[in-house]
Amino acid sequence: MPDAAPFMSSFLEIETGWIDFNNHLNMGYYTVLFDRAADEAFETFGFGPDYVARCNHTTFSAEFHVRYLRELKLGDRVRSSFWLIAHDEKRFHSFQELYHEDGWLAATGEGMTLHVDLSGPKVVPMPDDILGRVAAMQKAHAALPRPEGVGARIGLRQKG
């Protein structure tokens, strides 16, 4: 059984071209950081470039929500947790936390990922070996307290 702790990516660097005119990380690049970290987690399932070449199957992001909690700047290094919240045979729901190397939380990302046959493209079931690894991670993560922010909604609170 996999470790019950969430998967943690390697450290990722903020790139010069990602800094906007406000002198901080542009909002779009938080998603790039989450995506690069998720690629590391996906490798543990058996997804990656070799999987695409061998099976002509891959993953597509169906939905992804970011909460920006604290700004990042050039020179900052971050790493991301990866929590598997739920899954079925064709998709999985994940949650990530982007941590500065000093330990503070900069952002969270929540997504729905699909398993896709590129010949369609169409959403198809994952092979049994990969589905088994996905299920094992989700089972391990289900034993942990749910991370803060899962299922967060956006909206204005009405007065009165």
Flag whether 157 is in a domain.
no
Confidence of residue 160 (pLDDT cuts 50, 70, 90): confident
The whole-number pLDDT of residue 159 equals: 83
**Alpha carbon distance 19, 78 (integer Å):** 15
pLDDT by residue (tens digit) across 30-49?
999 999 999 999 999 999 99
Residue with tokens 């989450």: 34
Flag whether 156 is in a domain.
no
- Decide which of 2 and 99 is more confident: 99
pLDDT by residue (tens digit) across 69-118?
999 999 999 999 999 999 999 999 999 999 999 999 999 999 999 999 99
Flag whether 115 is in a domain.
yes
**Alpha carbon distance 23, 32 (integer Å):** 18
Query: In one letter, which amino acid is 102?
Result: D
Q: Which domain holds residue 127?
A: 8-142
Averaged pLDDT, 129-150:
96
Flag whether 36 is in a domain.
yes
Flag whether 78 is in a domain.
yes
Structure-block tokens of residue 143: 């034993």
90 touches 123 (CB < 8 A)? yes
Averaged pLDDT, 116-130:
97
Q: How many domains does the chain have?
A: 1
**Alpha carbon distance 60, 102 (integer Å):** 32
Flag whether 147 is in a domain.
no
Flag whether 159 is in a domain.
no
DSSP string for 134-148: HHHHHHHHHTSPPPT
Confidence of residue 129 (pLDDT cuts 50, 70, 90): very high
For residue 141, pLDDT beyond 50 = yes
- Here the contacts of 72-75 (C-beta below 8 Å, separation 24 or greater) are 72/14, 72/24, 72/25, 72/30, 72/100, 72/106, 73/14, 73/19, 73/23, 73/24, 73/25, 74/14, 74/16, 74/19, 75/14
**Alpha carbon distance 78, 155 (integer Å):** 28
The CATH number of the domain holding residue 98 is 3.10.129.10
Flag whether 111 is in a domain.
yes
The whole-number pLDDT of residue 158 equals: 85
For residue 3, pLDDT beyond 80 = no
For residue 157, pLDDT beyond 90 = no
CB neighbours of residue 122 within 10 Å = 10
